[in-house]
Amino acid sequence: MVIIGDGALRELGAKILEAAGTPGEEAVWVSDCLVLSNLKGVDSHGVQQIPGYVKAIEDGFLKPGAKATLLEESAATSFYDGNWGYGYSIAREVMAATVKKAREAGAAFSGIRNVHHIGRVGKWAELALDDDMIGIASQPGGVYIAPWGGVERKLPIAPIAFAAPTGKYSPIVVDMSLGPIAGGRTAILAQRGMRVPLGWYIDDDGETHDDPKIFNEGKGAQLPLGQPGLGYKGMALSMMINILAGPLLGHVATHAQAFRRCGVFLGAIDPEAFTPLETFKEGMDALISDMKSSRLADGFDEITVPGEPEWRTMMRRLKEGIYLDDEIYGRILDTAERLGVSTMGYEGNPGKESVVHPSYALKDMYR
């Protein structure tokens, strides 16, 4: 483990991306977004993405500096070509336009095709919070999930984000895949030799197993979200996202190249189109209080609501620094050196933390 402060990590990330051909301001923005993911504990979508982005630039799949082109527009919808730019830049621009449209029309939805990775989808939904709106964001992600009754990887894990403003509580931020586990997180678990409950992964014969390494080597698939007998629900959820970000945007996002062709779907809803903002926020607080008032299950100290564990992790990591696996950080330093970026002063300190994400704390795993 390496511990490094968020400021140093931001700097190093921006330098690497700039050295790979990213305009300076854009490199800072992308690095900020990545480090924010690490701060929130979503390490799968943090700086470990940097070597892959550099490779994508070198391979011509990611075009630094590219801007979105507006293809279609209605009062409540817009559709953009992302021209293979950074998802971070394109999604920021499109989400701002979507929020503006929602202020006029009450709600707005936007699609983007031909765009690179937008990273942690929660980021784009959170942008709507600045305007006291509900934000929605999705990008299909890796094609990892078997359909109900099948054993092959056919469905994307379909990360979805949904953010809603609150009164006295921190905002609700749903930010999760609609499959068992994101690809980047599988990689971390495999790296650390951790096991997961049965029912997440199957092998090539359709038998469930507990070893992320097998999946990480390209074997088998993930089962769709749901208890035994309910995987058809997870399949339907993944298909819904895949329809909105696939056929709706003029392409099919089911095949193995989905990551390169994937669409993005962003939305904003203005609560004031329905109800006064203060009433909405009071309702949100009442809903959260009601969750937290539940009698607890064995092994739990409290009920947390979506976004709360990530917010706490961020508060802690802002103080303590960010924990990265040696191998993962090593690949980042290697990339820097290959591009002629000095890594002096960015070595970090040795650390021991092995927590992955609050949701994956082992005590919670088997319920």
Residue list 122-151, contact with a copy of itself (CB under 8 A)? 134, 146-151
Complete edge-to-edge strand list for the sheet that includes strand 322-324: 322-324, 2-4, 349-350
Decide whether 56 or 225 has the Cβ nearer to a copy of itself. Answer: 225
258 binds a copy of itself (CB under 8 A): no
CA 249 to chain centre: 20
342 binds a copy of itself (CB under 8 A): no
Decide whether 293 or 340 has the Cβ nearer to a copy of itself. Answer: 293
190 binds a copy of itself (CB under 8 A): no
Which one of residues 1, 199, 314, 325 is an interface residue with a copy of itself (CB under 8 A)? Answer: 199
Q: What are φ and ψ of residue 41, in 5° steps? A: 90, 0
Q: Which stretch binds a copy of itself (CB under 8 A): 50-58, 296-304, 331-339, 343-351?
A: 296-304
Q: At what angle do helices 326-338 and 50-59 cross, to 10 degrees?
A: 40
Which one of residues 83, 191, 216, 304 is an interface residue with a copy of itself (CB under 8 A)? Answer: 304
- The single residue listed with the structure tokens 């305009």 is 23
164 binds a copy of itself (CB under 8 A): yes
Structure tokens at 40: 């929130």
> How many alpha carbons lie under 13 Å from residue 127 in its C-beta half-sphere?
22
> How many alpha carbons lie under 13 Å from residue 231 in its C-beta half-sphere?
19
- In the shown chain, the binding pattern of residues 84 to 123 toward a copy of itself, with x for contact by CB under 8 A and - for none, equals --------------------xxxxxx-x------------
Structure tokens at 220: 């088998």
Which one of residues 24, 100, 192, 230 is an interface residue with a copy of itself (CB under 8 A)? Answer: 230
Decide whether 295 or 319 has the Cβ nearer to a copy of itself. Answer: 295
Which one of residues 55, 100, 168, 255 is an interface residue with a copy of itself (CB under 8 A)? Answer: 255
Q: How far apart are the first and last CA of the chain?
A: 29
| Coil vs helix vs strand at 92 | helix
77 binds a copy of itself (CB under 8 A): yes
Nearest distance, CB of residue 247 and a copy of itself, angstroms: 3
Helix (H) or strand (E) holding 176: strand 172-177
Which one of residues 55, 58, 65, 75 is an interface residue with a copy of itself (CB under 8 A)? Answer: 75
Which one of residues 154, 185, 209, 317 is an interface residue with a copy of itself (CB under 8 A)? Answer: 154
Taken as a whole, the chain contains a residue count of 367
Question: Count residues contacting a copy of itself (CB under 8 A)?
Answer: 99
- In the shown chain, the binding pattern of residues 272 to 291 toward a copy of itself, with x for contact by CB under 8 A and - for none, equals -xxx---xxxxxx-xx--xx
297 binds a copy of itself (CB under 8 A): yes
Q: What are φ and ψ of residue 276, in 5° steps? A: -60, 140
355 binds a copy of itself (CB under 8 A): no
306 binds a copy of itself (CB under 8 A): yes
Which one of residues 74, 170, 257, 342 is an interface residue with a copy of itself (CB under 8 A)? Answer: 74
257 binds a copy of itself (CB under 8 A): no
Q: What are φ and ψ of residue 283, in 5° steps? A: -60, -40
The torsion angle over the Cα atoms of residues 58, 61, 62 and 66, rounded to 10 degrees, is 120
Burial class (CB in 10 A: 0-12, 13-18, 19+), 192: exposed
Nearest distance, CB of residue 73 and a copy of itself, angstroms: 8
Radius of gyration of the chain (CA): 20
Nearest distance, CB of residue 340 and a copy of itself, angstroms: 43
Burial class (CB in 10 A: 0-12, 13-18, 19+), 199: middle
72 binds a copy of itself (CB under 8 A): yes
